[in-house]
Amino acid sequence: MKKFYKFLILFLSIGLLITIPKTNAAVGYTYSHSGEPIYSTVGLASSTSGIYTVISDQWTNQSGEALLASEFTSPEDLFLYTEDGGSDIIYIADSASNNLFVFDEDMRYQYKVTQYEIRPEDFTDEEILKVKTAFTDNNKNTTSISFTDYLQKKSMNLADFRSMAEIPYAMRTEAQKFYLNCFGLSGVYRNVRPAKNPDGTIIRGVYQDLIYLSDKNNNQIILVDADDYHVVQVVTSPTDISFSGKVFMPVKLVTDVAGRMFVISEGVYEGIMQMSYEGQFSSYVGVNYVSMTFWQLFWRKFMTDEQLAQTETILNTIFTSLTIDDEGFIYATSRAVNDTDDTTMIKRINPSGKDVLTRNGYSVPKGDLVYIKTGTDVSVRGPSRFSAVAVNDYGVYTLADGKTGRLFTYDDEGNLLYISGGSGNELSDLNNPVAIRYQGDNILALDKENQSVLRFEPTDIANSINKAVKYHYEGNLVASSEEWKNVVSQNPNYEYAYVGIGKSLLNEGRYVEAMSYFQTGFSVGYYSKAYKLYRDEQINQYFTGVMSVVLIAIAAGVGYKIYHSIKYKKPEETGMGDE
């Protein structure tokens, strides 16, 4: 009999091993109000039709030119620009080939840009002397050289270059044109800015449509015309005294509507560099200060200036990515130095340079709440390592975790909406995300390790969540509540949905019902707010009646005492005795 039970247990164990499914795109997790990981359907999922690589049919253009694998080995940045007609154009920068690849909105390859024409009539001698370009010798070794050295290699000098301005552009031959080549092309961004006269005044109603290229190893930013890719401006290394001793190596940038640039420079720990329209360094914004332990502070008192300089990274950490929303607020990510400073890895920086990110969720936005804190394997130890950020037009932002390949999506109040993606061995996995961009409610993610682009689309529950958040952002709480009810019907354990329903009830003055939903959603703050409003309502409703009864009772009591004292008053003493 015992042998029979042993065989039965073995058979059941084998059956369980066979029937337990592997984790896939449909199965995910999120975090509860208490910070514990719980099961949840993923928010965004990639499909086979949304995977783009050098072997994709989409990456051969209409002329039969294919995007070669040898030229797409180190993609660093992806930018999506919506043109006036509503169509999207997508740019990808590769730091190995130094090519800028251009795609349409369906990720169909269009063409590549390998060099950028620089025209003598657009630059002064002083500006030209600061410009650099990449040069590849016969042994295929690439170095950064000055533009004047480039002219010398063409057996020309600055005067020869300047003389070409006298020839009408339409009449210039190819030999009379000059080009810049990037070296370590790390970032791409496109935006319009107001056009200016030579004296610096703005030309009203006239704008320049420009592409900004982070030419890292040439220590410059190249601004080119979005139509014909000729060089409009070159921003070179700052000469400001506050930048002395540092090397300008721009890797990522954004611009605002006034044309100011906000630049992440590799090796610059002071913060994001703010540069003027003309390319002059202004200040650092969003500095990442790191808290130090008592012993770190103690030992720093005994360090020399040289030792303090070597430990500069203790004071602040470098930013890893940034984007800008329609209101001009910059979303920037950085990495935590240790387990105690992981609460400000994402910032929303206002025009004054201050972090104004709302952190009203169950926990602060920081990716994974549960992670390995000890061990020798640095690839898995420690908090999330944000490598990219994207924000949509109703305040929802997504963070890419370079450590796990996951995408964490939050609303404008800092509530975690859903977690998507993940690393692995499948083409649909995200192993090293270096750039993400919203395309509607979809997300395009650039994977450097897999040399691919993945399109993540919302699942059914994510569609309901997105609609609920958008309606709330627009102030339509009733419609938002209906979508949150759809979320609850799909996942009763989605706690924040109850809070969303409660907000609508709170707005309608249905405080008791709102308290019930806030309690289910574990929102102490909103529960307290609803309770206070309910208490005030009860007081206002019954105060007049209660106080009237009390006053009448008091008046009746006083009246009765007066009446009683008069009726039963003793005769006054006359003071007269017997006669």
pLDDT tens digits for range 39-89:
988 899 997 889 999 888 889 999 999 999 999 999 999 999 999 999 999
Mean pLDDT, range 395-401, rounded to an integer:
97
Q: Is residue 405 included in any domain, yes or no? A: yes
Task: Report pLDDT for 167.
Answer: 95
Is residue 189 in some structural domain?
yes
260 and 390 in a common domain: yes
For residue 551, pLDDT over 80 is answered with no
Reported as a pLDDT band with limits 50, 70 and 90, residue 419 is very high
The residues, ordered by sequence, that sit 6+ positions from 439 with a Cβ below 8 Å of its Cβ are 80, 88, 105, 455
Tokens for 378?
A: 């640095």
> Are 215 and 223 contacting, i.e. CB atoms less than 8 angstroms apart?
no
Q: Which two tokens stand for residue 400?
A: 């890419």
Q: Are residues 46 and 93 in the same domain?
A: yes
Q: Are residues 449 and 463 in the same domain?
A: no
The H or E element that residue 485 is part of is: helix 477-490
**6 falls within a domain:** no
The domain total for the chain is 2
397 C-beta neighbours (distance < 10 Å), count: 23
Token duo for residue 84: 């006036």
Residue 364, C-beta contacts closer than 8 angstroms, at least 6 positions apart: 343, 414
Q: Is position 567 within any domain?
A: no
Going by C-beta distance under 8 Å and a sequence separation of 6 or more, which residues neighbour residue 453? 51, 52, 53, 78, 92, 107, 444, 445, 446, 447
- Indicate if 196 and 286 belong to the same structural domain: yes
- CATH of residue 148: 2.120.10.30
Phi-psi sector, 126: left (phi>0), alpha (psi -120 to 50), beta: alpha
Last residue of a domain, one of 395, 428, 453: 453
CB 208 within 8 A of CB 257: no
Q: Show the domain range for 480.
A: 459-559
| 267 shares its domain with 359 | yes
Per the structure block, which two tokens stand in for 559? 């009246």
Asked which of 334-343, 398-407, 525-534 is least confident by mean pLDDT, the reply is 334-343
Phi, psi of 419 (to 5 degrees): -120, 135
**242 vs 499 pLDDT, higher one:** 499
Please report where in the chains the tokens 């015309």 appear, as a residue: 225
> Which pLDDT does position 16 carry in this prediction?
34
Judge if 425 and 531 occupy the same domain.
no
What's the confidence (pLDDT) of residue 13? 41
Residue 427 domain-assigned?
Answer: yes
Q: What is the CATH number of the domain that holds 512?
A: 1.25.40.10
Of 38-52, 158-172, 304-318, 495-509, which range is least confident? Answer: 304-318
pLDDT at 543: 61
Structure tokens at 8: 């039965």
Final residue in a domain of this structure, among 419, 453, 487: 453
| pTM metric for this prediction | 0.86
Q: What is the mean pLDDT of the chain?
A: 87
- The pLDDT of 492-497, averaged and rounded, is 95
Q: So what's the pLDDT on residue 570?
A: 58
Task: Say whether pLDDT at 514 is over 70.
Answer: yes
DSSP code for 121: G
Taking the CA of residue 533 as centre, how many other CA atoms within 13 Å lie in the half-sphere pointing to its CB? 18
- Please give the pLDDT value at position 241: 83
The Cα–Cα gap between 107 and 427 comes to 16
Secondary structure class of 276 (helix, strand, coil): coil
Decide: 156 and 203 in contact? Cβ < 8 Å: no
- The percent of residues in the chain predicted with pLDDT above 90, rounded, is 70
Q: Is residue 438 part of a domain?
A: yes
Q: Are residues 362 and 405 part of one domain?
A: yes
For residue 394, count CB atoms less than 10 angstroms from its CB and return exposed for 0-12, middle for 13-18, buried for 19 or more. Answer: middle
Do both 106 and 187 map to the same domain?
Answer: yes
Stretch 395-399: mean pLDDT: 98
pLDDT at 256: 96
Does the pLDDT of residue 210 top 70, yes or no? Answer: yes
State CA 519 to chain mean position distance: 31
Flag whether 300 is in a domain. Answer: yes
